[in-house]
Amino acid sequence: MKYSYFFERDSFGFLMIKLPKEIELFSHFIEEIVTEDDVNILIDLIDKIVTGTYKENEIAFDGPTILIKPDITTVTFADILDEPPPDQYIETGEFRKLILIWQEKLSVRFIDEGSELY
């Protein structure tokens, strides 16, 4: 993985992924992925774009919008904010890796750290 990351819980106890400043907006998209089905659909889509089945694809989840292209994926908030931050970019292969890393945390995403299930 080219980029550093770590996980922390927000004030509601939900697990969040923290990314470096240059790609931090991607965390807002990734955190909207809540099921294994979401991960599988997204990974399948990325793979089809990278192999040329699709040229590109745009996806919006509750705010952030990503545009996946074979080499670069972009995240934007232009559709929901009056003064959005600048778009951010990540290599599509690295974005795919982040999705798979997030997938490993889905089972504990909503579990309280202090519970016996954590």
Whether 80 has a pLDDT exceeding 70, the answer reads no
Q: How much is the mean pLDDT over the chain?
A: 88
Domain ranges of the chain: 6-108
3-state secondary structure of 75: strand
Put residue 52 in one of left, alpha, beta given phi > 0 → left and psi -120 to 50 → alpha. left
Q: Region 103-107: what's the mean pLDDT?
A: 93
Give the closest residue to 84 by CA, choosing from 59, 61, 56, 63: 63
* Bridge partners, 15 (sequence order): 9
CA distances 12 to 17, 28, 38, 112, Å, are 14, 16, 22, 9
